[in-house]
Structure 1
Amino acid sequence: MAGATAVQAVSVSDSQPQNYEDEHVHKVYDEIAPHFSLTRYKPWPVIAAFLSSLPTGWVGLDSGTGNGKYLPLPEDRPGCVLTVGLDRSRNLLQIARKAGGEGAVREVVWGDALGHPWRDGAFVRNNKSHRNELNKYTYIFAGLCNFSRDYTPLVYP
């Protein structure tokens, strides 16, 4: 390929993955939040259908909510399912709070998937397994352990 340049690999110290992630992931998302939000505007149909299938009164967590495009769903039954948005980017959360327009204020929480601020099993799993930005196997394992604690199995009556 003419004009292509090689990308140099970066070595991250096993003891400093959080510093690397703060600088090269979280800081970047905060800086590009408005543009990023404009490129992520349409919910995935399978997730929208899943949210529409939930019984009235269910509470879910959208971990890595970004711009909150799933928070106003289900569109066919507004307000029947509460989805709380969790994200590390404060700038994306400012956008997520207003997701869906109509003057509604969405419930959002600033936090990290590695944190665990609520009781085990508090939420229905309603979205993607997020955090593909985690850059170390220990972070991935810790994040997955916390995901499994956050969610309760989905069981229909």
Structure 2
Amino acid sequence: MSPSDSSGDSDDPARSRAAVRRTYEDIGDHFSKTREYAWPEVESFVDESGSVGTALDAGCGNGRHAELLAGVADRVVGLDASRALLRAATDRVGDSVALLQGDATRLPLAAGAVDLAVYVATLHHLPSQTARRASLDELARVLAPGARALVSAWSTAHDHFDADPDADEGFDTTVDWTLPGGETVPRFYHIYAPAEFERDVADSDLRLVSMELSSGNCYGVVEPEGKRT
């Protein structure tokens, strides 16, 4: 896959948030079966967190990371836009997690309600820079003072792409998902340049505590910066 696709915000209705949600309604059942295990980077982050009151998995998919959070939190909220993925999450976590359908740019939680969060493999599916930054601001809003979250997104360093990992800007593209019958479904991605990822966090209400590139992804540990009262 080449970064020749247009970068920046897209006016293409096929790349709207509604279109992204429909994609995961179409592929959700099959997709969830290929996502059995938690990512090691998320396991490490959760293991290091200690016990907390309320945890959030924003973009929870089939619940594999919400399941991790349930091991350290008294209460876990898992949020996803896709009903198909939430059905898979229900099968996996049962009533140990409160599962909600929702939008990462408008989290249905009170300000300061979350003590620990993961927001992984979701930011890059939001099809405009405005939406991506709004979701980061929302994450900052719901985090309690001193709480931390792990944010991840696909990076130009990923070997799937013919891209310069030292570029200042990322790009928009689609990556096909192949269903068992052979049908391919394009999935929207914004592929982040690491410098761009750092910049978007810096321009949000979050503070970047640390960042690493791992398995072709940007991983940022963040905390609320306290810009909002």
Q: Same fold (TM over 0.5)?
A: yes
TM-score tier after normalising by the smaller chain length: 0.7 to 0.9
SS of structure 2 residue aligned to 1:97: helix
21, 26, 30: which one aligns with 2:17: 21
Shift of 1:128: 3.2
Give the 3 Å change call, closer, same or farther, for CA 74–134 of structure 1 in structure 2.
Answer: closer
Q: Could you list the runs of 5+ residues in structure 2 that have no partner in the other structure?
A: 149-229
The yes-or-no answer on 1:107 pairing with 2:98 is yes
Cα deviation per residue 1:73-93 (whole Å; 9 max; x = unaligned)?
A: 268xx5754321000001100
Q: Which has the higher strand share?
A: 2
- The one-letter code matched in structure 2 to 1:62 is D
1:2-151 equivalences under 5 Å are: 12-13=10-11, 20-23=16-19, 25-73=20-68, 78=71, 81-100=74-93, 104-105=94-95, 106-129=97-120, 130-151=122-143
Give the 3 Å change call, closer, same or farther, for CA 137–56 of structure 1 in structure 2.
Answer: closer
Query: What is the TM-score normalised by the length of structure 2?
Result: 0.53
Does the 8 Å contact 2:69/2:76 carry over to 1? no
Give the 3 Å change call, closer, same or farther, for CA 18–149 of structure 1 in structure 2.
Answer: farther
Give the 3 Å change call, closer, same or farther, for CA 8–98 of structure 1 in structure 2.
Answer: same
Q: Could you list the runs of 5+ residues in structure 1 that have no partner in the other structure?
A: 1-6
Give the 3 Å change call, closer, same or farther, for CA 84–17 of structure 1 in structure 2.
Answer: same
| Alignment partners' CA distance in 2, 1:127 and 1:53 | 13
SS of structure 2 residue aligned to 1:148: helix
| Alignment partners' CA distance in 2, 1:138 and 1:145 | 11
Query: What is the TM-score normalised by the length of structure 1?
Result: 0.74
Shift of 1:72: 2.2
Give the 3 Å change call, closer, same or farther, for CA 51–9 of structure 1 in structure 2.
Answer: closer
SS of structure 1 residue aligned to 2:77: strand
| Alignment partners' CA distance in 1, 2:10 and 2:65 | 33
Aligned residue pair count: 142
SS of structure 1 residue aligned to 2:36: coil
> How large is the Cα RMSD of the aligned pairs?
3.1
